[in-house]
């Protein structure tokens, strides 16, 4: 294969999104729409684009998401290849390549990733797999291509519901309390699904206002909300609202791509108590996805407890349990991590270890003193 590496810019957006559409490994997180959102999401990270395409002659055959971001570790600022502070979607190639051709593609891709890491002074690289792929593609997808290039892998559980099932069966598979809450909410709430068919700025404004009210402030730049509205208009998302006595009191935003969906965000009116708003909205989502011939709905990452690599608060553990109550199966997301610079590895590992140690019982101060003596 005769490869050419081309940095991603607006002139190559169509080629990039074509790779995403024609790769079974790619989902919405790989598309240029989500890349732009991530660049705008958290200004404090100072995210900048390093993504690139691989062409074989004149055909784009691979897309490699890559952003360099700045992270604070105490008084030290460390550059990472990450994605809004988290894991980048793994590099993807078009379907139809032979095993040998895929090896060539990924060898070329990761050689360039490592070269860019050196050029940008990057201390760590993070990637994650597409969990929808693991459901039907067999055990081979559980070992990501990143392990061939020196990455360490971790498993992150996430919950996915097969929405091809009849809603009657989906209801039966839920936790008993969830079924009861849905029936109770259904007597008082009115639902509305906002899609590309009925999207309007006026309806979206209700969501944006309630989002700020629930959080007590505007949590993200206005630009990101504008993008989210455009996704609805262009068929990449739906917005589900619940009304109480004619007033919107709950929303959930769901990204959709190909035949899968992801529960992205939600907000509830803090003035409404003792009414299961979120249960009702999720039931509306399940019904809509089933009616529109989607296959899978990812309701969210699962935290059973706090771990060293994946810290979780008690609230996050409770939210995970709430999501599991809607049924489905727990499947893995494979996280991949590679440290590049020794000094940054020491700083980040020490920070992670001490943060995790704070969640464990027992005396803590001696270990802080020991770490300060052993690690420069």
pLDDT tens-digit readout, 193-203: 999 999 999 99
**Does the pLDDT of residue 285 top 90, yes or no?**
yes
130 phi, psi to nearest 5 deg: -95, 110
Task: List the Cα angle 13/147/97 in 5-degree steps.
Answer: 50
Confidence of residue 351 (pLDDT cuts 50, 70, 90): confident
Contacts of 115 (CB under 8 A, 6+ apart): none
Q: How much is the average pLDDT of 83-100? A: 94
CATH 3.40.630.30: which residues of the chain? 3-128, 164-294
**Does the pLDDT of residue 373 top 60, yes or no?**
no
d(CA 322, CA 324): 6
Q: How much is the average pLDDT of 305-310? A: 87
Distance of CA 80 to the CA centre of its chain: 17
User: How does pLDDT run across 20-39, given as a tens digit for each residue?
Assistant: 999 999 999 999 999 999 99
Q: How much is the average pLDDT of 90-105? A: 95
User: What's residue 142's pLDDT?
Assistant: 79
CATH for the 3-128 domain, from 3.40.50.300, 3.40.630.30, 1.10.10.1110, 3.40.50.1980: 3.40.630.30
User: What's residue 375's pLDDT?
Assistant: 46
Confidence of residue 376 (pLDDT cuts 50, 70, 90): very low
User: What's residue 363's pLDDT?
Assistant: 60
70 phi, psi to nearest 5 deg: -105, 125
CATH for the 164-294 domain, from 3.40.250.10, 3.40.30.160, 3.90.1580.10, 3.40.630.30: 3.40.630.30
User: What's residue 49's pLDDT?
Assistant: 96
**Does the pLDDT of residue 357 top 70, yes or no?**
yes
User: How does pLDDT run across 38-72, given as a tens digit for each residue?
Assistant: 999 999 999 999 999 999 999 999 999 999 999 98
**Does the pLDDT of residue 374 top 50, yes or no?**
no
User: What's residue 138's pLDDT?
Assistant: 65
**Does the pLDDT of residue 125 top 70, yes or no?**
yes
167 touches 290 (CB < 8 A)? yes
Q: How much is the average pLDDT of 180-202? A: 97
**Does the pLDDT of residue 313 top 90, yes or no?**
no
**Does the pLDDT of residue 109 top 50, yes or no?**
yes
283 touches 325 (CB < 8 A)? no
User: What's residue 370's pLDDT?
Assistant: 46
User: What's residue 352's pLDDT?
Assistant: 86
Burial group, residue 145, by CB count within 10 angstroms (0-12, 13-18, 19+) = buried
User: What's residue 141's pLDDT?
Assistant: 72
What percent of the chain has a predicted confidence (pLDDT) above 70? 95
Q: How much is the average pLDDT of 242-263? A: 97
């Amino acid at each position: 294969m005769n490869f050419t590496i081309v940095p991603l810019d607006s002139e190559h957006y169509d080629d990039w999104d074509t790779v995403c559409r024609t790769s079974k490994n790619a989902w919405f997180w790989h598309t240029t729409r989500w890349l732009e959102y991530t660049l705008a999401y958290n200004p404090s990270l100072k995210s900048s684009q390093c993504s690139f395409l691989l062409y074989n002659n004149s055909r784009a055959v691979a897309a490699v998401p890559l952003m360099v971001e700045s992270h604070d570790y105490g008084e030290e600022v460390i550059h990472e290849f990450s994605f809004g502070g988290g894991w980048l979607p793994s590099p993807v190639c078009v379907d139809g390549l032979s095993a040998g051709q895929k090896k060539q593609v990924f060898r070329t891709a990761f050689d360039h990733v490592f070269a860019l890491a050196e050029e940008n002074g990057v201390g760590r690289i993070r990637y994650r797999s597409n969990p929808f792929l693991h459901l039907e593609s067999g055990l081979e997808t559980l070992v990501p291509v990143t392990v061939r290039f020196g990455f360490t892998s971790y498993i992150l559980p996430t919950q996915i519901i097969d929405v091809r099932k009849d809603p009657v069966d989906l209801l039966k598979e839920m936790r008993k309390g969830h079924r009861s809450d849905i029936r109770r909410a259904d007597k008082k709430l009115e639902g509305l699904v906002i899609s590309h068919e009925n999207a309007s700025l006026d309806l979206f404004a209700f969501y944006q206002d309630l989002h700020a009210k629930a959080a007590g402030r505007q949590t993200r730049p206005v630009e990101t909300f504008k993008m989210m509205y455009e996704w609805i208009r262009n068929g990449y998302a739906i917005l589900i609202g619940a009304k109480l006595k004619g007033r919107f009191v709950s929303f959930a935003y769901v990204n959709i791509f190909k035949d899968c969906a992801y529960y992205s965000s939600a907000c509830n009116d803090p003035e409404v108590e003792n009414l299961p708003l979120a249960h009702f909205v999720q039931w509306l989502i399940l019904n809509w996805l089933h009616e529109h011939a989607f296959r899978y709905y990812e309701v969210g990452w699962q935290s059973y407890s706090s771990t060293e690599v994946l810290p979780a608060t008690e609230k996050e553990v409770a939210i995970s349990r709430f999501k599991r109550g809607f049924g489905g199966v727990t499947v893995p997301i494979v996280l991949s991590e590679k440290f590049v610079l020794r000094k940054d590895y020491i700083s980040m590992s020490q920070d992670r270890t001490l943060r995790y140690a704070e969640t464990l019982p027992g005396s803590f101060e001696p270990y802080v003193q020991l770490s300060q003596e052993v690690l420069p």
